[in-house]
Amino acid sequence: MKRLYLASGSPRRRELLTQIGVPFCAVSADIDETPVVQESPSAYVERLARGKAEAGRGVVVSDEPFCVLGADTAVVLEGKILGKPVDQADACAMLMMLSGCEHEVLTAIAVLDGERCESRVVTSRVRFRAISRDEAAAYWVSGEPRDKAGGYGIQGLGAVFVAGLSGSYSAVVGLPLCETAELLGHFGIPCWQPRNAL
Ligand SMILES: Cc1cn([C@H]2C[C@H](O)[C@@H](COP(=O)(O)OP(=O)(O)OP(=O)(O)O)O2)c(=O)[nH]c1=O
């Protein structure tokens, strides 16, 4: 079986991949995440997921065949990408925009080996209840919004803002597990599956 490298510094992605029983090593994959002019959010996350996988391949030193998995998550409101907040004002402004309405979370995954690269984009819809400015300011102080797209974490304190979710919970957290398992299967990397347990 090929060894798998996860090209990510995200602790969430490591936890999620561990959750489905895939052995892997994490490598860093720092790339420029600036959107290209007129690039759609879907094309943006897919390009970044592929770019992270390629950057990861560049740092792996191995004589054995291996695969690299990269991923990227963006919060999208009315077609506009909300990245990670740069400061408190930015984070509060994002939460105010998301307050009381529905937004999309797009997560792309890309897997490559020495011959090919396959990718997927998973779209989920998240509905927030109304959020006050005081709540947004207090949430910033918790430290949670800093390293997260859209300035919130559904898996943490930010869950109190989430009135509804349609789509993939794991994709919102950073790695769509159903699609990741399927894509890894195309590269001969098995995850936990019911038939393996029999
Ligand atoms: C919306 C949302 C995002 N996030 C996180 C997932 C990603 O880690 C981050 C989006 O930024 P990304 O650029 O996708 O990922 P990253 O910089 O954290 O990690 P890397 O590029 O090294 O893989 O936001 C949550 O943890 N919870 C959420 O509810």
User: Hey, what domains does the chain have and what are their CATH numbers?
Assistant: 3-187 (3.90.950.10)
The complex scores an ipTM of 0.98
Residue closest to 161 by CA, chosen among 133, 127, 138: 127
Tokens in use for 161? 């803002």
For ligand 1, what atom is nearest to the CA of residue 10? 19
Ligand 1 binding site (Cβ under 6 Å of any ligand atom): 8-10, 12-13, 29, 52, 71-73, 75, 105, 147-150, 152-155, 172-174
Spatial distance between the Cα atoms of 109 and 43, rounded to a whole number of angstroms: 12
Q: Is the pLDDT of residue 196 over 70?
A: no
- Cα 180 to ligand 1 centroid, rounded to whole Å: 16
Is 30 labeled as catalytic in the residue annotation? no
Over pLDDT 70: what percentage of the chain?
Answer: 98
* pTM: predicted TM-score of the whole model, two decimal places: 0.96
Question: 197 CA distance to ligand 1 centroid (A)?
Answer: 31
Average pLDDT, the chain: 95
Structure confidence at residue 13 as a pLDDT band (50, 70, 90): very high
